[in-house]
Chain A
Amino acid sequence: MRIKGYGLPQMEVYTFDKLSDYLGKSKQAQYLFRYLGEINAKTFFVESNYVDKDFLIDYAKFYARSFQAPPRFTERIHFFSSDLTTESFRIAVEEYNDNLIKSIRKSYLGFTVVKPIGNWYGDPLIGRTILKTYPEEVEADFRYFLTHTYAASLYGIPLNVSSLPYQTQDMAVAACATTALWIALHPLSVLFAIPTYSPVEITEKAVTYPGEQRNFPSSGLSILQMINFINFLGLDTENINILPGKEEMMLEAVKAYIKAQIPIIACLELEAGSECDRCYHAVIVSGYRYDSSGSVKELYIHDDQIGPYSRVKLGDNPAEWENEWITHYGFKKMVVERLLVPVYPKIGLTFGRIHAVYLREKDKIISKGLNAELFLSQVNAYKQHLLKHSFKGKVETLTKSLPRFLWVIRGHYHGQPILDNVYDGTAIFPQKLLTIIYQYPE
């Protein structure tokens, strides 16, 4: 299959309006145009014959055995917020021009890999995509994203971007659940030192628990198969059912785990769409927008059928979501049924058990005019936070041996911590370890 735009000239910088020549017109490509516009992309550079590890493994395990195998190289498109030109790029590389290289690095927005395989309409599939997030401050609100720093090297120029990797599904080897697991693997790999796997490898390992249909081409995974893969990683799965009347708990779980940089798989039920009457879809929650009291105003998801950081509007019922599935794809309703959270097995204190304590403490905290939040933290991150604050018994607390994982219930005043109750995250039942009362200058 020949993909539109594949194999065009190298070492050339293009203006943003030429992007569709490379990305095609798939719904994910159209989303990327909109998203890149919002993060102020002005120019892009095409790195031809790029070897993408994930695609190469998918190629070796699946495509290489097709009679009409596609090329095994991809194209990687790098995006910049500056008016970079081909000439200035050449000078930067040929003359090692320090100022130009600094300018290229500063305006770097990330990249997307374009695979040499297409969808039904011949538009190329979007591979590994790592793009800068929306700004962290917006009007009077803030945004928090699940990110780690990823490096790229463009002809020797070191480039960095803080993000969460994304790719669209390639139904030969992966449906939404496999892709969600692939996205989740990146932060899990950083946090828990586990290897990453390509989509075909994830599907292979997940289907060691058999499903109702063929493994390849992939027709999706069941929850059992997703959990089977998470078990294979040596991790455990925290299942959080979204109970009727307690949907707010979903937002509290999102905040609690994303603050620890742990990815959350949201299991969605979609109703009355063109593709099905009722079907299930899996996405990764990649961030949220919140106000100074800590209330979540909007969620961001990595959805393999849409793109990275798709904005989710929350209705009166926060489990009923609105994004492109409703506004662009013709579905009538999208509801979160449950969250699946891959966790380190050592985190023995489940969300359900600590959340019950949180609900009681929250009532008391709010009655004093404060805001409350619950979050999981690793001890190093929590001690780094404490180091920057004043509180009674600071030295004793910082020198005290604490478990690796902590659940923290915080009373805060518009983001400024007032009081923390710290629970042992490795215990089975809630066991309080510390109370921190912050001190501020009079």
Chain B
Amino acid sequence: MGRANIGKMAKSKELKKEEIEKLAEELDEIAKDPKMLEEAEELHKKISYLSPEDLLKRFTI
């Protein structure tokens, strides 16, 4: 698919430049949100934790 067609498609889906810039601003707010950092810490701890039992699981097959 050519870029020109994508450009037209983007227009037809009302993905106008102004809207994309507005989206960028909204996303920027997310990155600055202090609650975001708390959520990031919580998820990091949950998904990276290895219990002593997990560490000793043997992969034997």
Contacts and interface: CB of A to CB of B under 8 A. Distances in A.
Interface in A13-30: none
Nearest to B45: A352
Contacts of B56: 212, 222-224
B48 A241 contact: yes
Interface in A157-186: 175-177, 180
Contacts, number: 163
B36 A365 contact: no
Contacts of B44: 350, 352-353, 356
Q: Which 3 A-B pairs have the closest CB atoms?
A: A352-B44, A440-B7, A220-B60
A351 interface: yes
Nearest to A270: B61
Given A239-B48, A364-B27, A368-B19, A353 B43 contact: yes
B57 A223 contact: yes
A160 B27 CA distance: 44
27 contacts: A176-B59, A176-B61, A221-B58, A222-B55, A223-B55, A223-B56, A223-B59, A239-B48, A240-B47, A241-B47, A243-B47, A249-B47, A281-B60, A282-B59, A350-B48, A354-B40, A357-B30, A364-B30, A370-B15, A413-B13, A414-B1, A416-B3, A419-B23, A421-B24, A432-B28, A432-B31, A437-B21
Interface string A296-333: 00000000010000000000000000000000000000
A429 B15 contact: no
Contacts of A249: 47
Interface residues of A, number: 62
A65 interface: no
Interface string A264-277: 00010010000110
Interface string B13-47: 11101011101101110110100110111111111
Contact of B40 (A365, A369, A421, A429): A429
A430 B59 contact: no
Given A176-B59, A220-B60, A361-B30, A352 B47 contact: yes
Interface of B: 1, 3-4, 6-11, 13-15, 17, 19-21, 23-24, 26-28, 30-31, 33, 36-37, 39-50, 54-61
A219 B33 CA distance: 49
Contacts of A356: 36, 39-40, 42-44
B20 A419 contact: yes
B60 A176 contact: yes
Contacts of B19: 368
A369 B36 CA distance: 23
B61 A175 contact: yes
B58 A219 contact: yes
A177 B58 CA distance: 9
A238 interface: yes
Nearest to B7: A440
Contacts of B23: 364-365, 368, 411, 419
A435 B24 contact: yes
Given A240-B48, A352-B45, A356-B36, A280 B61 contact: yes
A115 interface: no
A156 interface: no
B31 A238 contact: no
B7 to A, nearest CB: 4
Given A239-B50, A418-B15, A221 B30 contact: no
Interface in A412-431: 413-414, 416, 418-419, 421, 429-430
Nearest to A179: B59
A211 interface: yes
A279 interface: yes
